[in-house]
Structure 1
């Protein structure tokens, strides 16, 4: 990734740069079997380099795929690194030409800087989703005022009996894993990741200051835990879980507020809660549309994508039923 290192030195030039373009995140994806990171300089007609595209290459059956990113990677964004004045038309023409010459039959791009009309004009198909995003104010007081009264009241309640702390202790990953596996079990599903995948995330991000671990304690007992990757612009809710028997003490609200307070201290401007719900919006977040752009010269591959995602969730439920049945046979 020598060319990548050259690009990394220019990150601040690109308005579309995210945590997920950075080396620690790419190393996490590669270490967990998502593919090989690649970098492509996309030049305009004058031979200048208006953009760089970052992705991981993998094969799904006979199909060579350009993932930037792909579903299941717990990766919110990627796509081209572009400046505010980059000609997106030139970028897309160069990208499709590269795919054709190098045997890629399918690609996904996900970046908020991609113009919808131009993407559609170049044959990319949208898959629309929504996430809740809090615009964090410069001070904790201003940010606190953005929370709905229900969230503020529940944080105050939590602070009476719970203690929240940020930690770099890898042992917290095991504790978090126990909580999240139990919550998935309660929903009739098996958690899709191994504990080793979560430890790999921590090993890749913690040394670079790109991961906040939050734990909430009640009388020496873990009440809630969460993982919050971030860069200097945005903090993300990777995942969190709490002990059901302690839910009435509001550990989840305190966990999120602790992450938000950390973001204020670090000058981070937004909090992406990675999906939306009434619970998430009460932290002052508003819904924003997120579009995954899919492209293939082969008809039908987008339909195959939808079928594979449905199969993934059906598989989690089946695995849970099988584990429950096997447990009952012992």
Structure 2
């Protein structure tokens, strides 16, 4: 029987966690530092043992809502795609999930648990008292040649990439200490949300915290697109680690979208990642517009369990309340 035990972070622990093949950037110390600061949350690291043998690790963060302890691995709104487990390949993920329940609710005293683990399937969740939603993500296999990757895109997407090039759009890599990048990105992000009569779901400080946390480790690619006149018209933020690059955020000004900077940014990132041995590009979500890049949908269910129906109701109410608040703030901004 598997058992989880909370442990303190040490260099030896981080080294062991980094030896697992299913490791993701979201399991690393810099990423957890980013989430902890942005969400005022407390990281939870646990070893998973089978008898006296360590067979994996669990990663989560504790926070409080309505005075209740919440264990997120991760929580929605944390701009963090997956957490969950790092496991020996011989260990079934369902068994690790079963062992997580008493750890979360008894050992940690959590009232609510959410988990999204890249390796969990819906069949792993059945019969464990969990509710879940299908949350597929769109990925691109970077193993084929550059020509094959380009050919796999929709013809309209290929035309847009060529149009950007002919229009004089230039993509530049931005160092992490650039003092203007976060401002450029957030200004463009506000314009993207304004198109839908909304405001961004996070502040500019979260962008700055992400860059500060990941920049020293060299695990984030910041891209800026300039038009023929040298104006910054689009930006993208791409964390990467081990075998995967992630699309954390991208934004552009509506008035310049006719020169197609967004497609040019993605195409640059795909080639950049592939040249460095990265084998997968994860769009972090399955919106239909991503299919034009030749993506494949991968199911990654988002599961949750609460100590009581009341807590589950509070969680759903909080989610609905956030959406209403976002629209209200947007209306006030338009009225000024």
What TM-score do you get using the length of structure 1 for normalisation?
Answer: 0.92
One of 293, 307, 310 as aligned partner of 2:303: 293
Partner of 2:284: 274
Partner of 1:134: 140
Partner of 2:255: 245
One of 21, 46, 49 as aligned partner of 1:43: 49
The CA deviation at 1:73 is 0.2
Deviations 1:59-85 (A, max 9, x none): 111321111100100100000211211
Partner of 2:316: 306
Deviations 1:274-326 (A, max 9, x none): 2233421111112222211212232343343333222212211100112222x
Coordinate RMSD, CA, aligned? 1.9
Say whether the 8 Å CA contact 2:154–2:294 is kept in structure 1. Answer: yes
The answer to whether 1:69 aligns with 2:74 is yes
Residue 37 of structure 1 aligns to a residue in which SS? strand
Deviations 1:109-153 (A, max 9, x none): 111212433322322221212221111125322322222221111
| Count of aligned residue pairs for this structure pair | 325
Alignment of 1:153-302 (within 5 A): 153-160=159-166, 161-168=168-175, 169-218=178-227, 219-302=229-312
Residue 151 of structure 2 aligns to a residue in which SS? helix
The answer to whether 1:101 aligns with 2:107 is yes
Say whether the 8 Å CA contact 1:13–1:83 is kept in structure 2. Answer: no
Tell which deviates more after alignment, 2-11 or 240-249.
2-11
Say whether the 8 Å CA contact 2:121–2:301 is kept in structure 1. Answer: no
Report the Cα distance in structure 1 between the residues aligned to 2:313 and 2:135, rounded to whole angstroms: 17
Report the Cα distance in structure 1 between the residues aligned to 2:181 and 2:75, rounded to whole angstroms: 28
CA distance 1:301–1:323, change in 2 (3 Å)? same
Report the Cα distance in structure 2 between the residues aligned to 1:167 and 1:34, rounded to whole angstroms: 28
Report the Cα distance in structure 2 between the residues aligned to 1:223 and 1:102, rounded to whole angstroms: 47
Report the Cα distance in structure 1 between the residues aligned to 2:114 and 2:285, rounded to whole angstroms: 19
The answer to whether 1:52 aligns with 2:61 is no
Deviations 1:159-208 (A, max 9, x none): 11211111112421111111111221221111122222211110111111
Report the Cα distance in structure 1 between the residues aligned to 2:271 and 2:311, rounded to whole angstroms: 43
Partner of 1:85: 90
Residue 150 of structure 1 aligns to a residue in which SS? helix
Say whether the 8 Å CA contact 2:185–2:235 is kept in structure 1. Answer: yes
One of 292, 307, 324 as aligned partner of 2:334: 324
* Structure 2 runs not aligned, ≥5 long: 1-6
Residue 290 of structure 2 aligns to a residue in which SS? helix
Report the Cα distance in structure 1 between the residues aligned to 2:213 and 2:18, rounded to whole angstroms: 21
Tell which deviates more after alignment, 159-168 or 269-278.
269-278
Partner of 2:150: 144
Say whether the 8 Å CA contact 1:4–1:39 is kept in structure 2. Answer: no
Residue 301 of structure 2 aligns to a residue in which SS? strand
The CA deviation at 1:254 is 0.4
Tell which deviates more after alignment, 117-126 or 238-247.
117-126
Deviations 1:241-268 (A, max 9, x none): 1121211111111011111111111111
What TM-score do you get using the length of structure 2 for normalisation?
Answer: 0.91
